[in-house]
Amino acid sequence: EAQVTQNPRYLITVTGKKLTVTCSQNMNHEYMSWYRQDPGLGLRQIYYSMNVEVTDKGDVPEGYKVSRKEKRNFPLILESPSPNQTSLYFCASSRRTDSYGYTFGSGTRLTVV
């Protein structure tokens, strides 16, 4: 089944403890992206990647890192999480051309205490 898989689905962590949220897609998509969703603010793009080793900042990149060493994987790294990064995170992927829509993962609910 074609899908975007995020792990973990739920995570509670403490301030300052480094964490990684994984994202993997099995559709050979070139483009991948991370979003966060907060009440009243909607979905906001954190980082995106056009292809392997090509990444760029979205609208809210502060406090996050990403890497794209393989086409299928696009992990989101929080080096020193803070409570304002408590949010619902979504990974998405798509083919390179605009003939295709995004496929989203099921989300990761992160709580930083």
Partner 1 sequence: DAKTTQPNSMESNEEEPVHLPCNHSTISGTDYIHWYRQLPSQGPEYVIHGLTSNVNNRMASLAIAEDRKSSTLILHRATLRDAAVYYCILRDRDNYGQNFVFGPGTRLSVLP
Which spans of this chain sit near partner 1 (rule: CB under 8 A)?
31, 33, 35, 42-45, 48-50, 56, 58-59, 90, 92, 94, 96-98, 101-107
CB of 18 to partner 1, least distance (A): 25
- Closer CB to partner 1, 80 or 87, in the complex: 87
Report CA 60 to chain centroid distance, whole Å. 12
Q: Of 12, 18, 14, whose CA–CA distance to 80 is shortest? A: 18
- Please tell me the distance from the alpha carbon of residue 65 to that of residue 77, in angstroms, as a whole number: 5
Residue 32 neighbours by CB under 8 Å, 6+ apart: 23, 25, 48, 49, 68, 74, 91, 92, 93
CB of 48 to partner 1, least distance (A): 5
- Closer CB to partner 1, 26 or 80, in the complex: 26
CB of 88 to partner 1, least distance (A): 9
- Closer CB to partner 1, 40 or 113, in the complex: 40
- Please tell me the distance from the alpha carbon of residue 108 to that of residue 62, in angstroms, as a whole number: 18
CB of 16 to partner 1, least distance (A): 28
